[in-house]
Chains A and B, each alone.
Chain A
Amino acid sequence: MQKGIAMQSINPRSTASLCGHPIHAMLVPVPVVCFTATLVSDIVYWRTAAMLWADISAWLLLIGLIVSLFAATAGVIDFFGDRRIRELRAAWIHALGNVAALVLSIFNALIHTRDAYTSVVPAGLILSALVVLILVVTGWNGWTMVYRHGVGVLHKGAP
């Protein structure tokens, strides 16, 4: 029944979905929040040199990275699962940008394994800020995919 609806949908289809709900959309908020909060705790550490904030950044990066591996897997499956997604310029920006953010965050997590000040300042802080800037662009393009092109949105019949 689900499959039938999806086949009829005029919208680009999400392949990695659970009862018609795209898995990528369910998971992606976790790394977005973690990496954004990493920038906040990095800034607080930079201003206070209180180690607790650097420790918080390290945990946020780890959790963000673990969940983003699942989110990215679902995203890649969706990307290659429907030609209509690959035809969208927004999808390319979203995919490539998020891969870049993920790779930078792996670097950032390694930088954050250093001890004390240089685990954050300057390299960690710069990477955290870059990642958030990328996420603003990829997030915007992700919304373009869903709200303008209806990627993963079930819709029966004509608009």
Chain B
Amino acid sequence: MKSACFAAGAIAILLAAAGCGPAPIDPQRQIGADPYLPPIHEYLLPPMHVAKVVGWNGATPTAAAGLKVQAFATGLANPRSLYVLPNGDVLVVETGGPPGPVSRPKEIVMNWVEKMAHSRTKPGQRILLFRDTKGNGVPDQKFVLLDHLNSPFGVVLVGNDLYVANTDAVIRFPYTTGQTQITAPGVKLCDLPGGPIDHHWTKSLTASPDGAQLYAGVGSNSNITENGIEAEVGRAAIWQIDRATGAHREYATGLRNPNGLQFEPQTHTLWAVINERDELGPDLVPDYLTSIRDGAFYGWPYSYYGQHIDPRVKPQRPDLVAKAIPPDYALSSHVAPLGLVFYTGTNLPEHYRGGAFVGEHGSWDRSVLNGYKIVYVPFADGRPSGPAEDVVTGFLIGGDKARGRPVGLAVDGQGALLIADDTGNSVWRVSAAQPTMAADR
């Protein structure tokens, strides 16, 4: 009996130790230019905590004062990104990533957790076009613009060329405004790092203001090099792709998972939102919004927020760590920002003009959920100028159930904010509660 008591006692201690960890801090301490960075805490068992998906069932997200939310499209298959064409047609990218590889037992569990956190609907691999012929903001026509794509995410139109960033290549299609279906075969402009391992698969895409260059976000192939450093070639970077030749170079590196590539309208600087590393504690490492400097190195995998070394990476690279620059604006930890749009419209109240909206997909490895909302970061002279504020919430109910999860953002032809909700299989439209004179007449 002694050994049985010993075993029971030891297992009780083990479980208690596994559950231990620092209590999450107030996320507000990690908003802005100089976030509080707690000491590293490595877990025995990471606190995998995803919200149970319950769906909207007729409910809608909650908007801040002065704004209203309506359903733009529902019944979709994992809509993740949005793009508005010059004539006001809205492209909705239905997409899903390739299945994760199983190189060790942990991945079996991780794949299962990820499945729990997403919609049960099989993701589409296509781009839908929505058209509002009545001018009331809600589309009345729907077309399949392109189908049978390979985990598409980024879309950008330059002149008569529509570029789609599949997970493994940027493809160019001829496109004339008003066209509702593309039958012409696409031409590959440039390969992107895809499989067989394709951990961060979403390839965000934008074009320079003059249209000469494309910029593609290429996320890392692991959390923190656990698939080997050789799997990271060309990854954790933003690529600059010459539109004429398809030649590319790494414009900025050390960006673990860059998404929402956008040019800031006033300074014409490239900005992006970055998903930082996991499993260093509930409040490490804060995800961030940053301007992207040509040739800059932002730390991943060797360090974070400048020279904070990550002990999980061997061999280390002190030469690169010395060069690492801290990002501009922390969004707090594990919020998973995937969408970014600068607001240049006039529909929304004056308060929201000139700043950036960020879509936060939400945390999975933090006991108190973080993210699962749209925040607004005010800008002045092309730089963030104040704390982020909640604009659209209600994706969570009761603290642990998710109706949806926001991803990509866009501003439609009338100046309303569109939100792709992959887990809720919807697109939401946020506009002024009281129409402004310009939008009304």
| Partner-B contacts on A (CB < 8 A) | 49-52, 54-55, 58-59, 62, 76, 79, 95-96, 99-100, 102-103, 106-107, 110-119, 121
Contact = CB atoms under 8 A, between A and B. Distances in A.
Interface stretch (B98-106, B241-249, B422-430): B98-106
B312 A96 contact: no
A141 to B, nearest CB: 14
Given A115-B226, A119-B226, A106 B14 contact: yes
B315 interface: yes
A78 to B, nearest CB: 12
A55 B45 CA distance: 17
A88 to B, nearest CB: 14
B6 A99 contact: yes
A96 B225 contact: no
Given A59-B105, A103-B11, A111-B44, A50 B228 contact: yes
Interface in B209-228: 222-228
Contact of A115 (B2, B7, B10, B279): B279
B104 A116 contact: no
Contacts of A59: 104-105
7 contacts: A51-B225, A58-B105, A95-B3, A99-B3, A99-B6, A114-B42, A118-B311
A24 B4 CA distance: 17
Interface string B294-317: 000000000000000001111100
Contacts of A58: 104-106
B43 interface: yes
B314 A49 contact: yes
B228 A51 contact: yes
Contacts of A112: 104
A79 B3 contact: yes
Given A55-B103, A58-B104, A116 B3 contact: no
Nearest to A52: B228
Contact of B18 (A49, A96, A110): A110
Contacts of A107: 14, 44
A145 to B, nearest CB: 15
Q: Which 3 A-B pairs have the closest CB atoms?
A: A115-B226, A116-B312, A58-B104
A134 B159 CA distance: 71
Contacts of B6: 96, 99
DSSP class of B's interface residues: helix, strand, loop or mixed? loop
B104 A99 contact: no
Contact of A117 (B44, B103, B312): B312
A65 to B, nearest CB: 10
B18 A103 contact: no
A76 B4 contact: yes
Nearest to B13: A103
A58 B102 CA distance: 12
Given A51-B227, A114-B43, A114-B279, A103 B105 contact: no
A79 B7 CA distance: 15
Nearest to A49: B314
A103 B7 contact: yes
A99 B14 contact: no
B365 to A, nearest CB: 12
Most buried by A among B2, B6, B10, B104: B104
A76 B4 CA distance: 9
A96 B30 CA distance: 48
A54 B226 CA distance: 9
Contact of B312 (A55, A106, A114): A114
A105 to B, nearest CB: 11
Given A58-B106, A95-B3, A103-B14, A116 B43 contact: no
Interface string B1-36: 011101100110010001000000000000000000
A36 to B, nearest CB: 19
A2 B10 CA distance: 38
Contacts of A102: 7
A31 to B, nearest CB: 15
A107 B45 CA distance: 10
Contacts of A95: 3
Contacts of A115: 222-226, 279, 312
Contacts of A117: 311-314
Given A55-B104, A58-B105, 8 more contacts: A54-B104, A58-B106, A59-B104, A59-B105, A96-B2, A112-B104, A115-B223, A116-B226
A19 B89 CA distance: 76
B405 to A, nearest CB: 24
Q: Which of A62, A96, A99 has the most CB of B within 10 A?
A: A99
A102 B70 CA distance: 56
Nearest to B231: A51
A51 B106 CA distance: 14
B44 A116 contact: no
Contact of B224 (A79, A99, A100, A116): A116
Nearest to B2: A96
Contacts of B313: 116-117
B229 to A, nearest CB: 8
B226 A51 contact: yes
Contacts of B314: 49, 116-117, 121
Nearest to A104: B10
A110 B3 contact: no
Contacts of B7: 99, 102-103
Given A96-B3, A114-B312, A103 B104 contact: no
Among A54, A55, A62, which residue has the most Cβ atoms of chain B within 10 A? A55
